[in-house]
Amino acid sequence: MIAAIKQAIMHILDASHQIPIVSEREMDVGDAVINTYITRLIERVYDDPARRAGEFMKNSGLKHHINEYRSGGTDFTALSAHIANRLFDGLKNTEDPKPCDILVCSVMMNERDEIAILKLDNKTGFTHRVDKGEDGILCTLINHYAILPAMTQKLSEYAFIALDDLSIRYRGGNYKIDGEKADLFADILLECDYEISSREAVNTVTRAAKRVTAENGGDVMETAARMKECVIESIEERENIDTEKIASHVFDGRPAMLGEFKAKLENANVPPRIEANKYVTKKTTSDIKLTTDIGVELSFPAEYYNNSDYVDIINNDDGTISIVIRNIGELTNR
């Protein structure tokens, strides 16, 4: 991923003021410190598995302003001012408004022009101050009330809007605005419809499969093993996760459970294909981990679960469980 910062402007949104402090001038993105800070923030979130894909609603105000900007009817500074004012209108009506800065950037991401909107939450911190007086030099502490996120910190709210097709990728947060629950970015600023993120989707699929299995008296561990096997195969074949294939494989021969599982995914708006990014791949293909009530923990590849040549899980007549591990060539103490 290659990020090139073309323009950037920052506005201060503090609900203790009656109006936002809207900057009328752009930042100097040629300054190495500024450029590095913005670039690092963008790099931390651009491929975030928690981001959602969105599409502007027909009457979105921001969509109108973006189109004006694309056609040359308005400039970057005016566009950023609209974004700042719109977000401030939402924030000032929340139950417990927190001060923040809004950083709006024109960026080139992998040779694609985009508008990046980054919400920088302010926090209180301490720094030193040196006072010189008649009695000599005094080094003391003072509060700083508007410290910005560190370059290594992942932002919790942001949006990227591609200028070629107006596609949206964003991550928002839920607020109580005028007494009702709302997503500040999706509902107030972008006015967009959206899909759940790949992280939300894969977590929903995993929870739903285990819940349906448990509620119907099935083997939850077998379900987890089947799912991992299917996911690995799906990623290798098409570089995404096919939820229909998972459903058919995991609940093969159990039509009632299959129907329940599909209904849960549909109610949660899980898409038929889940992007296989780094988080999803790690989450769904990692080893099966077992923890016993006597404190013993086991971790092994999913393909070994139903292979008694390596792992055999036995349900004893007295209700206890025995686990037999076979064909071990070497033990390593870690």
pLDDT score of 302: 63
The pLDDT-based confidence of 45 (bands split at 50, 70, 90) is very high
pLDDT in tens, 295-332: 788 777 766 766 777 777 777 778 787 888 888 877 77
93-97 contact pairs (CB < 8 A, 24+) = 93/177, 93/178, 94/15, 94/175, 94/176, 94/177, 95/175, 95/176, 97/15
**What average pLDDT does this structure show over 101-113?**
94
Helix (H) or strand (E) holding 181: strand 180-183
| 3-state secondary structure at position 182 | strand
Answer whether residue 204 shows pLDDT above 80: yes
User: Rounded CA gap, 74 and 87, in Å?
Assistant: 19
pLDDT score of 42: 95
Residue 222 is encoded by which pair of tokens? 């077998």
**What average pLDDT does this structure show over 178-203?**
88
Helix (H) or strand (E) holding 3: strand 3-13
pLDDT score of 123: 86
pLDDT score of 160: 97
Answer whether residue 35 shows pLDDT above 70: yes
**C-beta neighbour count of 140 within 10 angstroms:** 8
User: Rounded CA gap, 199 and 203, in Å?
Assistant: 6
| 3-state secondary structure at position 291 | strand
Beta strands in 30-171 (DSSP E): 52-56, 100-109, 113-121, 123-133, 136-147, 158-162, 168-171
Strands 113-121 and 158-162: antiparallel
Give me the chain's average pLDDT, please: 86
C-beta of residue 89 within 8 angstroms of C-beta of residue 182: no
Nearest partner of 41 among 157, 195, 126, judged by Cα: 157
pLDDT in tens, 205-232: 888 888 898 899 888 877 877 777 777 7
pLDDT score of 277: 67
pLDDT score of 1: 59
Residues 6+ apart with CB under 8 A from 124: 143, 144, 145, 147
User: Rounded CA gap, 242 and 191, in Å?
Assistant: 29
C-beta of residue 171 within 8 angstroms of C-beta of residue 195: no
**C-beta neighbour count of 159 within 10 angstroms:** 26
Which of 13-27, 170-184, 290-304, 315-329 has the lowest average pLDDT?
A: 290-304
pLDDT score of 283: 59
The residue behind tokens 């400039």 is 75
The pLDDT-based confidence of 280 (bands split at 50, 70, 90) is low
CA angle 89, 90, 91 (to 5 degrees): 100
- Reported pTM: 0.74
- The Cα-based distances of 104 to 9, 86, 123, 219, 331 in angstroms read 5, 13, 20, 50, 54
pLDDT score of 185: 95
User: Rounded CA gap, 88 and 21, in Å?
Assistant: 10
pLDDT score of 306: 65
Residue 42 is encoded by which pair of tokens? 């963008």
C-beta of residue 208 within 8 angstroms of C-beta of residue 264: yes
The pLDDT-based confidence of 140 (bands split at 50, 70, 90) is confident
**What average pLDDT does this structure show over 229-237?**
74
The DSSP output letter for 42 is H
pLDDT in tens, 47-103: 888 899 999 999 999 999 999 999 999 999 999 999 999 999 999 888 888 889 999
pLDDT score of 207: 86
**What average pLDDT does this structure show over 241-266?**
87
Strands 240-242 and 273-275: antiparallel
- CA 261 from chain centre, in angstroms, equals 24
Which of 143-157, 195-209, 265-279 has the lowest average pLDDT?
A: 265-279
Answer whether residue 143 shows pLDDT above 90: no
Select, from the ranges 30-44, 211-225, 248-262, 283-297, the one with the highest average predicted confidence (pLDDT). Answer: 30-44
Answer whether residue 9 shows pLDDT above 80: yes
User: Rounded CA gap, 234 and 195, in Å?
Assistant: 21
